[in-house]
A and B are shown apart, each in its own frame.
Chain A
């Protein structure tokens, strides 16, 4: 890999202090994410995958080790608005239209009005929501709301997209469709994507690299380079190559569970 590292974690440790004693959310986690990669994090709940993502976003502060984003600290990267973050829930403001919601980060970041309009229009087209700009969130289905929240994360052209189980609450048919769209979007925008999921098929279908994690303490147990081609129709999930990768992920998850 000749490409530069966009996100780089070295021996990351994070211990939460709780009333039941310390919880090791992350222990000795090291990983490099290169420009343009699509990296999925998969593992059972409590394995620290979301915590790791939140460390990248400077929403959690590691108690040990180092993390850099775009070559600077996570905090500086956040202040420079280096990434767009998509949460599990769409979190659209009910008092703003879809357009107004996508515009929100642009207003906060002080983009000019005409630029805001152009960007809102462009990203809504990107997630195939053109024509819904004036609708309110409650007028849209859950899948459409999540697409709007992705548009919002894309609106200010951050190179990095951090996604925390964005499709976790949606049914499988909608999820398949959004996965397909997300891959197209990734190909078109050439973003670096870190994607947390608990679905093996989703991780294998989307990623160029799959990071398998296990709990107590949260750590990386396997990193799998996907041999699948860049072009991925949904049918690829029935090929042997796909099933082989899925099998290896499952093995990795099982290995992490041995101590249970």
Chain B
């Protein structure tokens, strides 16, 4: 852990340097335009100061985003519609529900594929086909169809999350449940173990490392699904709504702060699964 601090800091510093430089480069045009209109000659120093402090910059500087995040998280009440925490929670709840549904669906499909010959041959192509449809195309339809059926709010967004997150779980679990080799299955046979015993004592524990890898991908996909699901809902609330509203009004700082919040959320969720993975596998003696 300690040995990785310096390299990580170096990379972070590098990113900030590039970011600040890019902000000057991208926002310079607007700064020159302003200066020309008011007939002022811009020095380099003034250019940089202006580029890093515009209200609607093409690319906001890191400190502008940081200030925006600070203002919309710490300085706002959580219940406020302007609180980023409030919006994050809306997205998070849809993400978690969709993730839970997707994981359950993925595991159920994997078990079906393992134990049912017909499913093994017929279902997998459909599952793969389902993921080739652009989610942006299908998300509004899911929302509209579910709304017509009288379902609105959390569930339509969670459905889109589920649609994206069940896929890695199916693929990973099919591989995981099939990971015991022929010898181990023969061994179960010599004890005349039942199918259920073979599943619970051999196939399922053997699939755990595969499951956790899938869950990490599924969780990130689930968050993407929830944000995409918020885009066509008329932008009421959620990180997706913030992104949409920001882009309508050219509020680039707001967009970037919502983006960073989404990234932080994804990192935290994936990190949490990683932690559960470490604890589970070390308890199982596998890590």
A residues touching B (Cβ–Cβ < 8 Å)? 57-59, 78-79, 81, 83-85, 87-89, 91, 93-97, 104-105, 107-109, 136, 156
A-B contact pairs, 28 of them (CB 8 A): A57-B190, A58-B189, A59-B189, A78-B189, A79-B192, A81-B191, A81-B192, A84-B190, A85-B186, A85-B187, A87-B183, A87-B186, A87-B187, A88-B183, A89-B183, A91-B183, A91-B187, A94-B285, A94-B286, A95-B205, A95-B285, A96-B285, A97-B285, A105-B191, A107-B201, A108-B188, A109-B191, A156-B191
Contact B190 A93 (CB under 8 A): no
B117 to chain A, nearest CB (A): 20
**A145–B186 Cα gap in the complex (Å)?**
18
B residues touching A (Cβ–Cβ < 8 Å)? 183-184, 186-193, 197, 201-202, 205-206, 208, 284-286
* Chain A CB within 10 Å, residue with most, of B188, B191, B284: B191
**A88–B182 Cα gap in the complex (Å)?**
12
**A202–B283 Cα gap in the complex (Å)?**
40
Q: Which residues on B sit within 8 Å (CB–CB) of A93?
A: 202, 205-206
**A120–B285 Cα gap in the complex (Å)?**
19
Contact B192 A136 (CB under 8 A): no
Q: Is the interface of B mostly helix, strand, loop or mixed?
A: helix
Contact B192 A78 (CB under 8 A): yes
Task: Check A83/B190 contact, CB under 8 A, given A91-B183, A93-B205, A108-B197.
Answer: yes
Contact B193 A108 (CB under 8 A): yes
Contact A95 B192 (CB under 8 A): no
**A84–B284 Cα gap in the complex (Å)?**
26
Q: Which residues on A sit within 8 Å (CB–CB) of B208?
A: 95
**A83–B190 Cα gap in the complex (Å)?**
8
Closest chain B residue, CB of each to CB of A107 = B201
Q: Which residues on A sit within 8 Å (CB–CB) of B191?
A: 81, 104-105, 108-109, 156
Closest 6 CB pairs of A and B: A95-B284, A85-B190, A136-B285, A105-B191, A108-B193, A95-B205
Q: Which residues on A sit within 8 Å (CB–CB) of B183?
A: 87-89, 91
A146 to chain B, nearest CB (A): 13
